[in-house]
């Protein structure tokens, strides 16, 4: 498998075999790290991490991954460059491409990460846009593979805003890997029609199935994985909270829902998650909406504290796996075959 020079903008651009290769490479790098085996095979390279939105996991995964591979990493935060303000994305791409061997981008527009890929001349990795979050899916799928042994035929249900970056990317990933994807959400929050059609066509080839339901309980029946994400994503105005709580509180992942799933089902979340009043937003929402919506009165929004803290919850394995999978992506696009 040779992925040298490849961008990672969306998993739509990758074959199931390529996705499986990246997951397996990550598993190997994880094991090597646990055994104290170093893999500083890219020590002559430098990468830049360009963030228009904040991050904990993605930034740290790229930084630690780069250092583990022997690379240097430069972080540019939301106020750290002129890109899009006094300098075009196209010009920024051409400047960064002269200095760096690879570029990570987190921002708003998918078209911006595509411009960076088109004009920088180096591999570009999408660290989240409004549309897609492909590196997250690799970590999620490594976690599922570790737990269930393989991805094929896993019954995966996503709760919440299914037309955001996570809903879109998980649907693509499940279609590619022959999994059974269900989105449980109000119809208005299902993925856009053209993306569903694209994924249906992929599913036909891989044996995957895609299902969309407004019935939260129906979505949990026989599921192996219950997954959710924040109800309001980065970049959305805070005014949307009210309608999102109204629409999505019946889709909160709680113990009652978990009990409807398979006995050995797991809970997953890309994080960060609202599961109590120990965040500013969680606390504000509880105060403002708790009287109207019983479900959110304790700042538990998309998931209850009981579920995220339960044995079925693999959210911190998933977070750790961001690093191993992102390291595999950088190694595959910058290195020679790793043997």
Query: What, of ligand CP, ligand NVA, none, does residue 165 touch, CB below 5 to 8 Å by kind?
Result: ligand NVA
Which residue of the set 59, 140, 224, 270 is catalytic?
A: 270
Would residue 133 show up in a list of annotated catalytic residues for this protein?
Answer: yes
Q: Per-residue x/- mask for ligand NVA, residues 157 to 196, rule CB under 6 A? A: -------xxx------------------------------
Which residue of the set 106, 180, 269, 275 is catalytic?
A: 106
228 binds ligand NVA (CB under 6 A): no
Would residue 39 show up in a list of annotated catalytic residues for this protein?
Answer: no
Which residue of the set 229, 275, 312, 324 is catalytic?
A: 229
Q: CA separation (Å) from 237 to 110, 203, 232, 233, 265?
A: 19, 34, 8, 9, 34
HSE-up of 259 (CA within 13 Å, CB side)?
4
Contact 55, 76 (CB under 8 A): no
- Considering only CA atoms, give the Rg of the chain: 20
User: Counting Cβ atoms within 10 Å, is residue 44 exposed (0-12), middle (13-18) or buried (19+)?
Assistant: exposed
325 binds ligand NVA (CB under 6 A): no
Would residue 215 show up in a list of annotated catalytic residues for this protein?
Answer: no
Contact 307, 121 (CB under 8 A): no
| Shortest Å distance, C-beta 131 to ligand NVA | 10
Instruction: Find tokens 């991954």 and name the residue.
Output: 65
User: Residues 148-182, buried b or exposed e (16+ Cβ, 10 A)?
Assistant: eeebbebbbbbbbbbbbbbbbbbbbbbbbbbbbbb
Q: Which of 81, 92, 129, 136 binds ligand CP (CB under 6 A)?
A: 136
Q: Which of 230, 248, 258, 301 binds ligand NVA (CB under 6 A)?
A: 230
Q: Which is nearer to ligand NVA, 58 or 81 (CB)?
A: 58
143 binds ligand CP (CB under 6 A): no
C-alpha dihedral over 142, 146, 151, 157, to 10 degrees?
Answer: -80
- Measured in whole angstroms, the distance separating CA 290 from the mean position of its chain's CA atoms is 29
Q: Which of 11, 216, 270, 332 binds ligand NVA (CB under 6 A)?
A: 270
List contacts with ligand NVA (CB under 6 A).
128, 164-166, 229-230, 233-234, 270
Q: Known catalytic residues? A: 106, 133, 136, 229, 270, 322
List contacts with ligand CP (CB under 6 A).
55-58, 128, 136, 270-271
């Amino acid at each position: 498998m040779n992925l040298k020079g490849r961008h990672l903008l969306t998993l739509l651009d990758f074959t199931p075999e390529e996705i499986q290769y990246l997951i397996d490479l990550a598993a190997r790098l994880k094991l090597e790290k646990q055994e104290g085996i170093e893999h500083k095979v890219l020590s002559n390279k430098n990468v830049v991490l360009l963030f228009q939105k904040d991050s904990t996991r993605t930034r740290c995964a790229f930084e630690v991954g780069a250092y583990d591979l022997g690379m240097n990493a430069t972080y540019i935060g939301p106020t750290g460059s002129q890109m899009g303000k006094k300098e075009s994305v196209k010009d920024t791409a051409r400047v960064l491409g002269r200095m760096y061997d690879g570029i990570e981008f987190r921002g708003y527009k998918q078209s911006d990460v595509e411009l960076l890929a088109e004009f920088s001349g180096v591999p570009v990795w999408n660290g989240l846009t409004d549309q897609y979050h492909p590196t997250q899916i690799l970590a999620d799928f490594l976690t599922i593979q570790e737990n269930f042994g393989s991805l094929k035929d896993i019954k995966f249900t996503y709760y919440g805003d299914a037309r955001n970056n996570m809903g879109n990317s998980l649907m693509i990933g499940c279609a590619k890997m022959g999994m059974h994807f269900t989105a449980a959400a109000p119809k208005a929050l299902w993925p856009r029609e053209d993306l569903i059609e694209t994924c249906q066509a992929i599913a036909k080839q891989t044996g995957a199935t895609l299902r969309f339901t407004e019935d939260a309980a129906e979505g949990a029946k026989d599921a192996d994985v219950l997954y959710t994400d924040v109800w309001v994503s980065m970049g959305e105005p805070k005014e949307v909270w009210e309608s999102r709580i109204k629409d999505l509180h019946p889709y909160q992942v709680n113990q009652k829902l978990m009990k409807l799933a398979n006995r050995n089902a797991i809970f997953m979340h890309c994080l960060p998650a609202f599961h109590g009043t120990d965040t500013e937003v969680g606390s504000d929402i509880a105060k403002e909406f708790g009287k109207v919506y019983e479900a959110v009165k304790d700042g538990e929004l998309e998931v209850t504290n009981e579920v995220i803290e339960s044995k079925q919850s693999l959210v911190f394995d998933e977070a750790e796996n961001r690093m191993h999978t992102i390291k595999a992506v950088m190694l595959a696009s910058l290195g020679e075959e790793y043997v």
